[in-house]
Structure 1
Amino acid sequence: MPAPTALQRQPEEIVDDAENVPLPMEVEDELLIDPASSAPTEINPSISAPAALENDTEMHIDEEGRPKFAPAKNTDGPLKVETRKVPIPPHRMTPLKASWPKIYPPLVEHLKLQVRMNIKNRAVELRSSKHTSDPGALQKGEDFVKAFSLGFDVDDAIALLRLDDLYIETFEIKDVKTLTGEHLGRAIGRIAGKDGKMKFAIENASRTRVVLADQKIHILGGFRNIHIAREAIVSLILGSPPGKVYGNLRTVASRMKERF
């Protein structure tokens, strides 16, 4: 009688391919993995999560399958001294010298940075020290000085130090539409308006600050507010009548008041 094939073997026997020796059912049971043993290890609720993570080197997973890590330890000051150099345009050196008594106190007293004005290299140099506690202080200080170098007032630039959701967006008129000669001058005039009224209206409606630096436009504010101001400026560049832009700004301003 021919030997039974693999499909004809009895279910209680498992053949080892290496030795071709049937294995009993007890061995098969040992090879199976218990679902309970493969479940993630639960942390004892009586032990706090930070204490359990500090005393155990294994990685624990919560109910949603996300790993739990020990909280980062606070360090006394920065790990190393870092230096930043912010270049200042030539036309902003005189305002920098005049406003220097208002610029360095927030950097030194609030951010605990070391700062100096390098007149020879036309730059403001920032450096962290052992007294600097905020790891992002150096970046905030650089953004503050850079905002002033772009043309913003000191009081407006200080908002970058106190608030975390403020940004600066810069774009050029040629990024929207290629204009030359008198067409470019008229576009800049539409953005500024008579005696700067159009620019002030955009700032008040969108709660931003706008700087017109020749063909470059700098906007300081929140993400949504920058979007509103940019849309109004783009409409003016493309040739929309100022009256129509005024009406859109009034509508946007009323909606923002209702929201807040």
Structure 2
Amino acid sequence: MPAPTALLRNPEALAEDNAMTDVPQEGDVPLDIDATAEPAEPAQSASDEMQVDTEGRPHFAPAKDIPRILKVETRKVPVPPHRMTPLKASWTKIYPPLVEHLKLQVRMNIKNKVVELRNSRHTNDSGALQKGEDFIKAFTLGFDVDDAIALLRLDDLYIETFEIKDVKTLNGDHLGRAIGRIAGKDGKTKFAIENASRTRIVLADQKIHILGGFKNIHVAREAVVSLILGAPPGKVYGNLRTVASRMKERF
């Protein structure tokens, strides 16, 4: 049977080993400390405790104001030549909503025939620049200023544009009669469609612009398409009355 390794070593080596074990080495854990014990958590201060009101809802401190990172952007809206005169005449009614309501910087560039919009550090709404551009575009398409202002105050309004040739290819007198059916005598048919569908319609030669909500635009477009295809105005009026009564029941 082989002898243990400790018996084969000389006494001087054993003495050196015993002396080395008495000196605490780096990484050693003292025997009087429980290594399995978890470190004690720091005591929570009274200010960190969650405050609860009388109804049991937590009360949090107000959030700190974080400075917004503003990127200055500029939009240029081209103005057609035939809308420059109305733009100059209505300018005193156009720029106050843009400056006071949206906090935008706006100017009319007569040389380049554009309206320039720019946000600033006073602009609070991130979508103000887009709303201002839609407002100017609506006016350049032929809508009244009071109708176009609704785009600034309501979020669910849109503008849809289509041409008569998109519905049916018409030329000459047939095209003129189709435009006449849409407008009606003294514009009565157009006004009836606008009042029934709660929209605004602009007839610009062969282009038709409709301003309103998504469902309202659909109702007005169906009536205009029916007139383009040759439906008599009386039938279109009847369909509008039915649709208008249904819309009132929903509201």
Match of 2:138 among 139, 143, 147: 147
State whether structure 2 residue 106 is matched by structure 1 residue 115.
Answer: yes
Question: How high is the TM-score relative to the length of structure 1?
Answer: 0.71
RMSD (Å), alpha carbons: 2.0
Question: How high is the TM-score relative to the length of structure 2?
Answer: 0.74
Matches within 5 A, 1:67-86: 76=67, 79-86=70-77
CA 1:155/1:77 → structure 2, altered by over 3 Å: closer, same or farther?
Answer: farther
Task: Measure the CA separation in 1 of the matches of 2:109 and 2:91.
Answer: 12
Match of 1:132 among 116, 119, 123: 123
SS at match of 1:183: helix
* Identity between Structure 1 and Structure 2 (%): 86
SS at match of 1:212: strand
Structure 2 counterpart of 1:92: 83
Check the 8 A contact 1:77/1:133 in 2, yes or no: no
Greater radius of gyration (CA):
2
Matches within 5 A, 1:159-170: 159-170=150-161
Q: How far 1:74 sits from its partner (Å)?
A: 7.3
- Gaps of at least 5 residues in structure 2 are 1-49, 52-56
Deviations 1:154-198 (A, max 9, x none): 000000000000000000000000000000000000000000000
State whether structure 2 residue 203 is matched by structure 1 residue 212.
Answer: yes
Task: Measure the CA separation in 2 of the matches of 1:166 and 1:109.
Answer: 21
Moved more, 128-137 or 250-259: 250-259
Check the 8 A contact 1:112/1:128 in 2, yes or no: yes
CA 1:77/1:214 → structure 2, altered by over 3 Å: closer, same or farther?
Answer: farther
SS at match of 2:217: helix
SS at match of 1:218: strand
Q: How far 1:79 sits from its partner (Å)?
A: 2.1
Task: Measure the CA separation in 2 of the matches of 1:78 and 1:219.
Answer: 37
Task: Measure the CA separation in 2 of the matches of 1:186 and 1:76.
Answer: 59
